[in-house]
Amino acid sequence: MEFLIYLFVFILGLAVGSFLNCVIYRLETGESFLKGRSYCPHCKHILSWKDLIPIFSFLILKGKCRYCRRPISLQYPLVEFFTGILFVLFLIYGGRTSIDLIFYWILTSFLIIIFVFDLKHYLIPDKVIYPAIALTLLYQFFRVWNFGHWDLFGIWNLVIGILPSLFFLAIILISHETWMGFGDFKLSTLMGLILGWPKIMVALFFAFFSGALVSLVLIFLKKKTLKSQIPFAPFLVIGTFFSIFFGEKLIDWYLNLILLK
């Protein structure tokens, strides 16, 4: 029975991932994602239901459009697959109530759009980041409010969690947006609201470390130079998920290590 629930949630995640691909594409073109049928981005042929089965259509069609035979981007099955995986992970580790679970599923959708869009266009759309911040503020408000019994420790954690975003703002202002963009500042603010203190530090450490490592590898392979731009939002998004799932355990391990000394 438990396996069937996980399977159902994974399939739900695949379907949501397919919708997220549509949202990402239509954010690029400026079209509304609420109306109009899906079509091939190359030949513009309207796609039928059998062309839109998450992952399986890609495999059956061998990664090519049924109508024009031009290649389909790997983005489509990868977004569907990882959305499904993250939906299952949040079912297992995400929260105590159904409200927690729904919040994390919606948040996952926002973060995946941000990840892909910044990776492709070096830009975090305001149409995505602002609703994500508003949703998180609303969710955290009800968590710390608790029907009039304010959780002062929870409020303090959130306030301190947002402070590292000021470091991003300083870098942006000093570099005149040559090192980072305001989108990264907005995303770091969202991360602080999601994670609070001290889990935000785990996410940022992971993001900076992994970003630096990938940059060095790309420079070594001569894919990038020291002056090349590398989108940072994907590393921040991965760091956010890493901290949600492993942040507390990592912090406990580190504190125990210090105490043992």
User: Domain check: are 35 and 6 in the same one?
Assistant: yes
Any domain includes 156: yes
* Residue 23: predicted pLDDT: 94
Any domain includes 71: yes
User: Domain check: are 85 and 149 in the same one?
Assistant: no
Could you tell me the pTM of the whole model?
0.92
User: Domain check: are 82 and 143 in the same one?
Assistant: no
User: Domain check: are 186 and 77 in the same one?
Assistant: no
- What would the pLDDT profile of 202-216 be if each residue is shown by its tens digit? 999 999 999 999 989
* Residue 177 reports pLDDT greater than 70: yes
Any domain includes 101: no
Any domain includes 157: yes
- What would the pLDDT profile of 121-147 be if each residue is shown by its tens digit? 999 999 999 999 999 999 999 888 876
* Residue 50: predicted pLDDT: 85
pLDDT tier, 254 (very low <50, low <70, confident <90, very high otherwise): confident
User: Domain check: are 148 and 72 in the same one?
Assistant: no
Handedness of CA 29, 31, 34, 36 (dihedral sign): negative
Any domain includes 98: no
User: Domain check: are 113 and 73 in the same one?
Assistant: no
- What would the pLDDT profile of 34-69 be if each residue is shown by its tens digit? 777 888 888 888 888 888 889 999 999 898 988 898
Query: Residue 89, class by beta-carbon neighbours within 10 Å (0-12 exposed, 13-18 middle, 19+ buried)?
Result: middle
Any domain includes 102: no
pLDDT tier, 104 (very low <50, low <70, confident <90, very high otherwise): very high
* Residue 257: predicted pLDDT: 78
Closest CA to 54 of 41, 72, 70: 72
* Residue 29: predicted pLDDT: 86
User: Domain check: are 173 and 88 in the same one?
Assistant: no
**Residue 197: enclosing H or E segment and its boundaries?**
none
Give dist(CA 184, CA 32) in Å, integer: 25
Total domains, the chain: 2
Give dist(CA 134, CA 39) in Å, integer: 32
Any domain includes 46: yes
Taking each helix axis as running N to C, give the angle between helix 182-195 and helix 98-121, from 0 to 180 degrees, rounded to the nearest 10: 160
Whole domain around residue 225: which residue ranges? 107-261
Any domain includes 100: no
Give dist(CA 57, CA 136) in Å, integer: 34
Q: Report the chain's C-alpha Rg in angstroms.
A: 20
The whole-number average pLDDT for the span 78-103 is: 91
Give dist(CA 196, CA 191) in Å, integer: 8
User: Domain check: are 152 and 122 in the same one?
Assistant: yes
- Assess contact for 241 and 201: CB atoms under 8 A: no
Closest CA to 180 of 188, 191, 172: 172
Look at residues 66, 93, 120 and tell me which one is the last residue of a structural domain: 93
Look at residues 93, 125, 160 and tell me which one is the last residue of a structural domain: 93
User: Domain check: are 121 and 89 in the same one?
Assistant: no
User: Domain check: are 78 and 142 in the same one?
Assistant: no
pLDDT tier, 152 (very low <50, low <70, confident <90, very high otherwise): confident
What average pLDDT is seen over the chain? Answer: 89
